[in-house]
Amino acid sequence: MSRWDDVYIGLCKKILEEGHEVENRTGVNTIKIPSFHFSLDVGKEFPILTTKQLFIRQAVLEMLWIYQAQSNDVRWLQERNVHIWDKWMINENGDWLDENTGRVLKHFDPKYVHTIGTAYGYIVRKYHLIDKLIDSLRNDPEDRRRVVSLWQDCELDNAVLPSCVWSSEWDVTDGKLNVLVHQRSCDVPLGLPFNVTQYAVLLCMLAQVCGYEPGTLDWSIKDAHIYVNQVDGIKEQIRRYDENGSLPAPKLWLNPEIKDFYDFDSGTKLSDVRLEGYEHMGKISFALTQ
């Protein structure tokens, strides 16, 4: 059975049972708890939810957009039929608009048109974050300074949405690559399932190209929340779990011929990545709040 489903459903129950309803910048209230922490052994079990369907192609392509393409251009995703950032794209006038009212939420320098501004992949490219990480993993296994930070104060004013998953710390222990991920704000129904699977894939990719085995994925959340318009969907997912448990975790297959992180296919077919034996209980639709 899937340990990730066990952890995830436990978090959802905790939020619904112990959380506080609060207002936030979006205008849609959330039910939140202040923090949550968990650990998964990716070397033993690949984490992807089975109590609902998760579309791994979209999840992995978003991760590669950030760390391989190192792009902030939303069109890169749209060309691959991935639309999770459409609501945050700066338009031709340099404006980020409220999707419901058309009101200008923020105006940007026109050079940032079609992008999300100075966030995520922009920061990875500007500060050479993935290249420094790979160089350290290959040449200095005992390095204790492998902090990859997507939170750069000087870039925040020109970002549409400052990075939610904002930092990761990497170490090698006993031949295994491990990562600790920090998330400042967590949309549990929509964001967290994508994020955990994404970083598990990134962990496995980096382990493969740097000569290690996949190890642990530790996760630290500040402000774990469920939007009030997502509660019914989460209750359905909890019902599935309570009645049926979880299904067996699938296996992640990466093309073993790939020895360079930049060689993993990031095209529409994502041919170097696939899941084997992925069983799930079907799709659940959740509102995406801008």
List residues with catalytic annotation.
164
CA atoms of 5 and 38, how far apart (whole Å): 12
Residue 68 to residues 85, 188, 231, 262, Cα–Cα distance (Å):
17, 25, 35, 6
The structure tokens listed for 122 are 């922009």
3-state secondary structure of 219: strand
End-to-end alpha-carbon separation of the chain, Å?
A: 34
Give the contacts of 168 (CB within 8 A, at least 6 positions apart). Answer: 147, 148, 179, 180, 181, 182, 199
Q: For 148-168, what is the HEC assignment?
A: EECCCHHHHHHECCCCCEEEE
Residue 119 to residues 1, 43, 84, 150, Cα–Cα distance (Å):
37, 30, 15, 7
- What does the longest C-alpha to C-alpha distance in the chain come to? 54
Residue 133, classified by CB atoms within 10 Å of its CB into exposed (0-12), middle (13-18) or buried (19+), is buried
Report the run of H or E that residue 9 belongs to, with start and end. helix 3-18
Other beta carbons within 10 Å of 206: 21
CB 18 within 8 A of CB 33: yes
